[in-house]
Amino acid sequence: MKVEEDMRQSFDLFFVSSNYHKYLEVKEILHSFGINIKFFKYDLEEIQSNSLKEIAFKKAADAFKKCKKPIIIEDDGLFIDSLCGFPGQYSSFVFKTIGNKGILQLLKKNRKAKFVSIISFCNDKISKSFEGKIEGNISKIQNGKSWGYDPIFIPLNMNKTFAELNKKNKLSHRYKSLKKFSNWYLHMMKSCDQ
């Protein structure tokens, strides 16, 4: 769906990011919970921190200052056991510099990994974060066409990468964090209406 079409529809909050692929995924998941979002393209400043949650919290505060409307942002990381959690909170930078090929070259036998997603909400009264995780393994080669690390991440008890799965948006780390957010957000909105 094009951005122009989005603008004609009503929406509940902005999703702030520079990544349109991520917006489309988040939009589809939230729509399944009855929440409509609008894309606000903006390059968020990323602080250096060992905490994904702290990075997401700061990004959400900055996004709200820029947008001045209720927003959510998503920050995520791929944490690989044999690399002591690398690339972790630096996943975006690492993907831009060495990509999936670089990650695959770094790995030997232990290919265990996890994806973590943090959704941070911010408005003029509340800042709140929600975490989702999924365990899995890194494939030996890239499989499927998609964005980010999806072609190399295989969820636990599966034999296909995220990029090869039709139902990724029903089991991913992002789905889990957005489900937690949606439950909280819809409850909050219902309480405000009473």
In the chain the first and final C-alpha atoms are separated, in Å, by 34
**Residue 79 phi, psi dihedral angles, 5° rounding:** -110, 115
Under DSSP, the state recorded for 6 is H
Q: Respond yes or no on whether the N-terminal peptide bond of residue 155 is cis (omega within 30° of 0).
A: no
- What is the percent of the chain where pLDDT is above 90? 81
Q: Catalytic residue among 62, 75, 76, 150, which? A: 75
177 touches 74 (CB < 8 A): yes
Q: Which of 42, 32, 51 is nearest to 167 (CA)?
A: 32
pLDDT in tens, 156-168: 999 999 999 999 9
Burial class (CB in 10 A: 0-12, 13-18, 19+), 147: middle
In a domain, 85, yes or no: yes
Q: How confident is the model at residue 6 (pLDDT cuts 50, 70, 90)?
A: very low
Q: How confident is the model at residue 8 (pLDDT cuts 50, 70, 90)?
A: very low
- How far apart, in whole angstroms, are the C-alpha atoms of residue 19 and residue 42? 9
- How far apart, in whole angstroms, are the C-alpha atoms of residue 132 and residue 169? 13
Could you list the residue range(s) of the whole structural domain that residue 50 is in?
Answer: 3-180
Give the domain CATH number at 9: 3.90.950.10
In a domain, 63, yes or no: yes
Domain count, the chain: 1
In a domain, 186, yes or no: no
Whole-model pTM? 0.90
In a domain, 123, yes or no: yes
pLDDT in tens, 50-104: 899 999 999 999 999 999 999 999 999 999 999 999 999 999 899 999 999 999 9
Is 75 among the catalytic positions? yes
User: Given this model, what pLDDT does residue 3 score?
Assistant: 43
- Token match 């505060």: residue? 61
